[in-house]
Amino acid sequence: MANRTIGVASLLGMLTALWAVFVYAPTEATMGIVQRIFYFHVSAALMGFFAFFVVFVSSIAFLLKRDLAWDRIARCSAEIGVLFASINLATGILWAKPIWGIWWTWDARLTLQLLLWILFVSYIMLGAYIAEPMKRAALQAVFGILAFIDVPINFMAIRWWRTQHPSPVILGGEGSGLDIDMYIALIITMAAFMLLYTYLLGHRLAVERTQEEVEYFEQLVHSQ
């Protein structure tokens, strides 16, 4: 019931975000209407980073407490993080073609984002190949912690190296930033994405709990 309320809130949040992106935010002078991809592209990237941060924290908690509840949160969050990272990569490609004239370049940010995606897809695949729960959870936790190292480097990549990717608009230092209305639209979009992440995580965790319940009943049936 609580997750359904969050689902409704995230739907309303998305509608508000669409209004902010397409009605409230002004059109950027040089890129024109295509720049409006930016709001969902950046929000998807940041929400992916956040989802992987949850994996990182939950993995540490699992290794300390050996409680499979933390492993469950880490695995579910990783899956949603991959979803957001995929959306970020796809929207980035669709922005790059009309603006840069190319679909892809091996720029530091793009390469690190692709590497992050590959790392967490590997994390999910790793889980599918090990049957024993504690062993699988421990291996995935170590892998998740190591894979997370990409996130801070990725975040700083456009601050440390000036390459093809646009310079940062958030925490970018002097000379960076956005028009105030664009900033507000971005904050609204990020809030909507946070609600969406919360809803998807709740939904995914519910499925995972039911899966564990099925495994429990199957064991019970086999033991009879």
Partner 1 sequence: MNWLVAAYSVFFIGIFAYTLMMSRKQKDLDRRIEELRSLIKESDLHDS
Question: Measured from the CB atom, is 76 or 141 closer to partner 1?
Answer: 76
If one asks whether residue 3 binds partner 1 (CB under 8 A), the answer comes out as no
Residue 169 DSSP label: S
Q: Alpha-carbon distance 91 to 140, whole Å?
A: 29
Which of these segments, 50-58, 86-94, 142-150, 156-164, binds partner 1 (CB under 8 A)?
A: 86-94
Buried b (16+ CB within 10 A) or exposed e, 95-115: bbeeeeeeeeeebbbbebbee
If one asks whether residue 102 binds partner 1 (CB under 8 A), the answer comes out as no
Q: Which of 44, 112, 116, 137 binds partner 1 (CB under 8 A)?
A: 44
Residue with tokens 């091996």: 106
If one asks whether residue 204 binds partner 1 (CB under 8 A), the answer comes out as yes
Q: How many CB atoms lie within 10 A of CB 44?
A: 24
* Angle (CA) 60 58 202, round 5°: 175
Q: Which tokens hold the place of 43?
A: 């929000």
Q: Which of 66, 97, 135, 159 binds partner 1 (CB under 8 A)?
A: 97
If one asks whether residue 224 binds partner 1 (CB under 8 A), the answer comes out as yes
Find the shortest distance in angstroms from Cβ 36 to partner 1: 6
79 CB-near residues (< 8 Å, 6+ apart): 124, 204
Beta bridge partners of 32: 28
Q: Which of 49, 62, 95, 123 binds partner 1 (CB under 8 A)?
A: 95
Question: Measured from the CB atom, is 15 or 134 closer to partner 1?
Answer: 15
The contact pattern for partner 1, residues 24-43, with x = CB under 8 A and - = no contact, is: ---------xx-xx--xx--
Q: How many CB atoms lie within 10 A of CB 204?
A: 18
Q: Alpha-carbon distance 90 to 41, whole Å?
A: 9
If one asks whether residue 20 binds partner 1 (CB under 8 A), the answer comes out as no
Binding residues for partner 1, rule: CB under 8 A, are 33-34, 36-37, 40-41, 44, 83, 86-87, 90-91, 94-95, 97-98, 196, 200, 203-204, 206-207, 210-211, 213-214, 217-218, 220-221, 224
